[in-house]
């Protein structure tokens, strides 16, 4: 069984990721088991997908709008965002929007070009699960979360930017550092 | 100088460790060439024509004597004994070894320096006016706001992999000395009706392949909202900027394709969600950052008692230098001094390790141990006493740093060009030198007056050729190096893009063309006050074109006009 990183641990993963069907051919939906479906399939087959056995997740491609699924959050056990290339950072904004604007609280999984050197930033934007690219060493990847011990900006783990935390941390509301 | 606190320092140290790991994995074959590339670039490391090049950040151009000495040490230990100041106020080492770079970064971290985000598709080093904090026309001290932005942009997770590089400039004075109109985002400080500090926000300006003057998308952004508004702009760009074509990926293309008005609406819609959120700035933070800047302890000086005026009348060479290289200061009895890195024969912006050490000494003796790097690739001692000017000038002259050419034709902005850069179409340093040699008569140079001459070795426009009064662009013409010349560009408040004069010319002809342009200018100016660029604006480029490309009739007409004027 495949493994993923979730909450900074390597765990076995049972989810099956469905790719978009080739043009013209019908999508095949496995009768059972946990599936992550592309947005287009969710739009076409929402009734079938909602009534089947097994948990349901949806994945957004890098150009797809988080608003497209924001009204359906109660149907999903997982949302994934696809990174199409090493240098394509659109998914970072997608993640922040899902977390901060639309209030997705469940698992947010990065898929696609997910490599060690992106994990720290991905976590900062709200991802808590990572399906590493095949060639990545999961043990080595875990160390990425410790690359930096703090950040200037707000993040999923630190909802306030550093400049506000600095002031909160001092007893009289003044600078402490 | 902004002095790091414990967290600032820790983040820079952790970056060194992170990059050491990435380099180790690359050298061990665990990280592919393609994937190491964006990682090393965001640490300022390029693989250049002959060797790697390391670009070190000099945040908003501010540098201490200690840091400059560290550059000298690195230049000697890891490079070939010199460094190059770039037009973005950074320093470049041209010959480091890839495997040494983590050690170089560790050295830099000991003096609160780094190479973070000096390249790559992320927010680059924020630049500003080199007279920030000392200018008489100051609205705010932009250094403080630049540091706010440095922290906001450093390792910003959401904006780490933008479609393309992203450059922000902040100008804190009435006059624009930060080129805010030709940046991805330009911030020009303004005061609201009640004196509140805010920023005029320009977006989508830039040079390069598609030069565009930025559009104002907000006339007044109150300072508290600075970061949330930038988040909104960057988010719209990150999500919708083009990623299919490298040459269409800058924000200027997005703004142009959507129209500035539509883009502005999108930003405002995004901002409505972010406004007043956690990233809203608080006055305590601005005060905290202000306090972390060391400030010169100015004395009460009587400028008349300094002997400076007497020296001016007695020493003509000194007076010439003062006229060009000394700038007024907001504190009575002090002045800012530009050390020219544009001595004929030395590549513009280059400094040897020996000079670095000597300049560090000068700054400690005469200017509180601080320096500025200007986007014109010179160094500035910002706080020199008028009474020290004459002595300082003599020392600077002995070091070859007192060429009195600031604002003049030989103060050429010039990229490293084909001698170093793998992107270049043509060499630029030898062209600069040939022009400097042609105009080596100082009296003549002063008579020509203010003239910005900028040279880029390719379309990427690192030498800002579009905004030079005379711009020279290296082009490739069937494998040969040619130069396209434009005139009428300008930086500052009235920024303008130059117009191409005509067909490109061979390297050897460039000084002749410049000389012809100058001849015509001198013949046509109505007074010494009318600068080259003013004449171009008044009479247009046609007469210049005809004069350069041979229209004998026109030429003789100009000649007789010149004689008549003499």
Q: Where are the alpha helices (DSSP H) in A71-118?
A: 90-96
B18–A148 C-beta distance less than 8 A: yes
Contact pairs from chain A to chain B, CB under 8 Å: 106
Q: Which residues of A touch B152 (CB under 8 A)?
A: 152-153
In chain B, which residues have their Cβ closer than 8 Å to the Cβ of A93? 158, 235, 238-239
Give the CA distances from residue A3 to residues A55, A79, A113, A142, B117, in Å, rounded to whole numbers and listed in that order: 18, 17, 16, 13, 33
CA distance B237 to chain A (A): 9
Interface of B with A in 509-548 (CB under 8 A): none
* Widest distance between CA atoms in chain A: 66
A95 in Cβ contact with A81 (< 8 Å): yes
Contact check, Cβ <8 Å, B239/A93? yes
Lookup: tokens for B463: 């030498």
CA distances from B531 to B175, B469, B513, B528, B538 (A): 18, 10, 18, 7, 11
Is the Cβ–Cβ distance between B246 and B195 less than 8 Å?
A: no
Average predicted confidence (pLDDT) for chain B: 93
> d(Cα B91, Cα B377) in Å, to the nearest integer?
10
Choose the closest CB to B279 out of A88, A125, A161.
A161
Contact A128, A101 (CB under 8 A): no
Burial of B548 (C-beta count, 10 Å sphere; 0-12/13-18/19+): buried
For CA atoms B556, B561, B563, B566, the dihedral sign is: negative
Look at residues B437, B444, B492 and name the one whose alpha carbon lies nearest to residue B468: B492
Q: How many CA atoms lie within 13 A of B129 on its CB side?
A: 30
Min Cα–Cα distance to chain A from B241, Å? 10
Burial class from Cβ neighbours inside 10 Å (0-12, 13-18, 19+) for residue B313 reads exposed
CB of A156 closer than 8 Å to CB of A103: no
**Identity of the residue in A87, A121, A159 whose CB atom sits nearest the CB atom of B157:** A121
Listing DSSP states for A19-32 in one string gives: PPPPTTSPPP--SS
Residue of A nearest to B22 (CA): A117
Give this complex's ipTM.
0.95
* Residue in this structure with the two tokens 């050295």, named with its chain if needed: B107
Question: DSSP letters of B284-335?
Answer: HHHHHHHHHB---------GGGGSHHHHHHH-HHHHHHHHHHEEE-SSTTEE
Q: How far apart are CA B222 and CA B190, in angstroms?
A: 9
Report the alpha-carbon distance of residue B229 to residue B225 in Å, rounded. Answer: 6
Distance of CA B361 to the CA centre of its chain: 24
Residues 83-142 of A with CB under 8 A from B: 85-90, 92-94, 96, 101, 115, 117, 120-125
Q: In what order do the strands lie in the sheet with B62-64?
A: B62-64, B370-373, B379-385, B334-339, B326-328
Say whether A174 and B284 touch across the interface (CB within 8 A).
yes
Chain A interface test: which of B157, B225, B280 (most A C-beta within 10 Å): B157
For the segment(s) A3-21+31-146, the CATH number from 3.40.1050.10, 3.20.20.70, 3.40.50.2300, 3.40.50.300 is: 3.20.20.70
Q: Residue B168 is encoded by which pair of tokens?
A: 């922000």
Give me B205's structure tokens. Answer: 């300006």
Are B434 and B456 a contacting pair, CB within 8 Å?
Answer: no
Mark yes or no for CB contact A163/B151 under 8 Å. Answer: yes
Q: Which residues of B touch A101 (CB under 8 A)?
A: 273
The angle at the Cα of B94, spanning B92 to B100, to the nearest 5 degrees, equals 95
Residue A66: closest C-alpha in chain B: B239
Distances (CA, A) of A166 to A163, B2, B6, B287, B290: 5, 17, 12, 13, 15
Q: Which residues of B touch A147 (CB under 8 A)?
A: 14, 17-18
- pLDDT computed for residue A177 by the predictor: 36
- Is A148's Cβ below 8 Å from some Cβ in B? yes
Q: How close, in Å, is residue A19 to chain B by CA atoms?
A: 22
- Tell me the C-alpha distance between B325 and B390, whole Å: 12
| Alpha helix segments (H runs only) across B198-250 | 226-240
Q: Where are the domains of chain A?
A: 3-21+31-146, 148-177
d(CA A55, CA B48): 52
Choose the closest CB to A96 out of B158, B162, B285: B158
Q: Which of B565, B319, B324 is nearest to B445 (CA)?
A: B324
Closest-CA distance, A32 to chain B, in angstroms, reads 35
Is the minimum CB–CB distance between B550 and chain A shorter than 8 Å?
no
Residues pairing with B455 in the sheet = B414, B472
Neighbouring residues of B30: CB distance < 8 A, sequence distance ≥ 6: none
By C-alpha distance, the chain A residue nearest B25 is A140
Spatial separation of the C-alpha atoms in residues B445 and B518, rounded to whole Å = 10
> Residues in chain A with pLDDT < 50?
173-177
- CA distances A85 to A111, A173, B30, B241, Å, are 11, 44, 18, 15
CB contact under 8 A, A163 and B35: no
Which residue does chain A place closest to B238, by CA atoms? A90
Interface test with A, best of B161, B230, B276 (most A CBs within 10 A): B161
The shortest C-alpha distance from B423 to chain A (Å) reads 21
Q: What angle do CA A173, A177, B6 make, to 5 degrees?
A: 155
B121 backbone dihedrals φ, ψ, rounded to 5°: -90, 70
How many angstroms away from the CA of A111 is the closest CA of chain B?
Answer: 16
Q: Is the Cα torsion angle B430, B59, B405, B469 positive or negative in sign?
A: positive
Cα(B73)–Cα(B53) distance, integer angstroms: 17
Q: Smallest Cα–Cα separation from A18: which of A38, A2, A34, A3? A: A38
Low-confidence ranges of chain B (pLDDT < 70): 48-50, 551-566
pLDDT recorded at residue A78: 98
CB-CB neighbors (< 8 A) of A162 in chain B: 7, 151
Q: Quote the pTM value.
A: 0.92
Question: Distance from CA of residue B89 to its chain's centroid?
Answer: 5
Q: Which of A87, A101, A152 sits opposite B121 (nearest CB)?
A: A87
In angstroms, the separation between the Cα of residue A153 and the nearest Cα of chain B is: 6
> Is residue B152 less than 8 Å (CB to CB) from chain A?
yes
pLDDT computed for residue B349 by the predictor: 92
- Which domains are assigned to chain B? 6-109 (3.90.480.20), 127-290 (3.30.413.10), 304-398 (3.90.480.20), 413-565 (3.30.413.10)
From the list B10, B22, B238, which residue is nearest A89 (CB)?
Answer: B238
Report the 3 state secondary structure along B324-344: HHEEECCCCCEEEEEECCCCC
CA atoms of B18 and A174, how far apart (whole Å):
32
Are B288 and A160 in contact (CB < 8 Å)?
Answer: no
Asked if B157 lies within 8 A of A153 by C-beta distance, the reply is yes
Assess B278–A contact: CB distance below 8 Å, yes or no. Answer: yes
Beta carbons of A122 and B278 less than 8 Å apart = no
- Cβ-based contacts of A155 with chain B (< 8 Å): 157
Please list, in sequence order, all residues whose beta carbon lies within 8 angstroms of the beta carbon of residue B557, skipping any fewer than 6 positions away.
Answer: none
A30 Cβ under 8 Å from any chain B Cβ: no
Q: Does B13 touch chain A (CB under 8 A)?
A: no
């Amino acid at each position: 069984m495949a493994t993923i990183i979730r909450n900074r641990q390597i765990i076995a993963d049972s989810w099956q990721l469905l790719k978009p069907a080739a043009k013209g051919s019908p999508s095949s939906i496995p009768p059972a088991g946990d599936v992550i479906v592309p947005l287009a399939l969710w739009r076409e087959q929402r009734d079938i997908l909602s009534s089947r056995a097994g948990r349901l997740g949806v994945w957004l491609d890098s150009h797809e709008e988080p608003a497209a699924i924001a009204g359906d959050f109660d149907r999903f056990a997982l949302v994934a965002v696809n990174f199409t290339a090493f240098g394509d950072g659109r998914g970072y904004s997608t993640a922040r929007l899902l977390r901060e604007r639309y209030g997705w609280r469940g698992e947010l999984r990065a898929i696609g070009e997910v490599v060690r050197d992106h994990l720290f930033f991905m976590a900062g934007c709200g991802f808590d699960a990572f399906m590493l690219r095949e060639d990545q060493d999961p043990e080595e990847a875990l160390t990425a979360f410790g690359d930096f011990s703090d950040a200037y900006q707000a993040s999923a783990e630190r909802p306030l930017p550093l400049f506000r935390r600095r002031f909160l941390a001092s007893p009289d509301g003044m600078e402490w550092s | 100088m902004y002095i790091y606190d414990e967290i600032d320092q820790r983040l820079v140290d952790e970056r060194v460790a992170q990059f050491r790991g990435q380099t180790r994995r690359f050298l061990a074959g665990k990280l592919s060439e393609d994937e190491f590339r964006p990682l090393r670039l965001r640490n300022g490391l390029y693989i250049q024509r002959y060797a790697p090049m390391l670009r070190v950040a000099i945040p908003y151009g501010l540098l201490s004597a200690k840091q400059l000495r560290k550059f000298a040490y690195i230049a000697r230990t890891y490079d070939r004994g010199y460094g190059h100041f770039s037009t973005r106020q950074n320093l470049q080492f041209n010959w480091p070894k890839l495997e040494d770079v983590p050690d170089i970064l560790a050295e830099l971290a000991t003096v609160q320096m780094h190479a973070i985000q000096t390249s790559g598709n992320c927010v680059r080093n924020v630049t500003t006016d080199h007279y920030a904090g000392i200018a008489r026309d100051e609205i705010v001290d932009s250094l403080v706001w630049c540091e706010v932005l440095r922290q906001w942009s450093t390792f910003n997770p959401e904006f780490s992999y933008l479609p393309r590089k992203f450059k922000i400039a902040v100008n804190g004075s009435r006059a624009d000395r930060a080129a805010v109109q030709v940046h991805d985002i330009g911030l020009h400080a303004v005061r609201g009706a009640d004196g509140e500090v805010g920023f005029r926000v320009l977006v989508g300006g830039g040079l390069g392949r598609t030069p565009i003057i930025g559009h104002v998308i907000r006339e007044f952004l109150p300072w508290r909202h600075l970061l949330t508004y930038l988040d909104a702009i960057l988010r719209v760009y990150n999500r919708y900027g083009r990623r299919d074509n490298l040459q269409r990926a800058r924000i200027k293309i997005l703004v142009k394709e959507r129209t500035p008005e539509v883009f502005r609406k999108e930003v405002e819609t995004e901002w409505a969600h972010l406004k007043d959120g956690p990233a809203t700035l608080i006055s305590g933070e601005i005060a905290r950052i202000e306090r972390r800047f060391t400030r010169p302890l100015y004395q009460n000086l009587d400028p008349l008692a300094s002997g400076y005026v007497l020296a001016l009348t007695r020493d003509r060479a000194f007076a010439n230098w003062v006229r060009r290289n000394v700038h007024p200061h907001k504190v009575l009895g002090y002045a800012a001094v530009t050390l020219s890195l544009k001595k004929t024969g030395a590549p513009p912006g280059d400094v040897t390790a020996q000079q670095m050490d000597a300049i560090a000494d000068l700054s400690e003796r005469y200017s509180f141990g601080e320096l500025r790097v200007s986007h014109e690739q010179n160094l500035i001692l910002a706080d020199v006493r008028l009474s020290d000017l004459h002595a300082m000038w003599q020392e600077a002259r002995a070091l070859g740093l007192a060429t009195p050419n600031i604002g003049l034709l030989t103060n050429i902005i010039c990229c490293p060009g084909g001698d170093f850069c793998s992107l270049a179409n043509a060499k630029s340093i030898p062209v600069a030198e040939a022009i400097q040699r042609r105009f080596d008569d100082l009296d003549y140079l002063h008579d020509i007056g203010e003239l910005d001459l900028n040279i880029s070795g390719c379309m990427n426009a690192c030498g800002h050729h579009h905004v030079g009064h005379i711009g020279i662009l290296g082009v490739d013409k069937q494998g040969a190096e040619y130069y396209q010349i434009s005139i009428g560009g300008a930086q500052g408040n009235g920024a303008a893009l130059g117009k191409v004069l005509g067909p490109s010319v061979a390297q050897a002809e460039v000084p002749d063309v410049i000389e012809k342009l100058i001849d015509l200018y001198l013949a046509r100016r109505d007074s010494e006050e009318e600068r080259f660029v003013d004449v171009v604006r008044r009479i247009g480029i046609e007469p210049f074109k005809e004069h350069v490309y041979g229209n004998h009739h026109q030429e003789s007409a100009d000649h007789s006009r010149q004689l008549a004027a003499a």
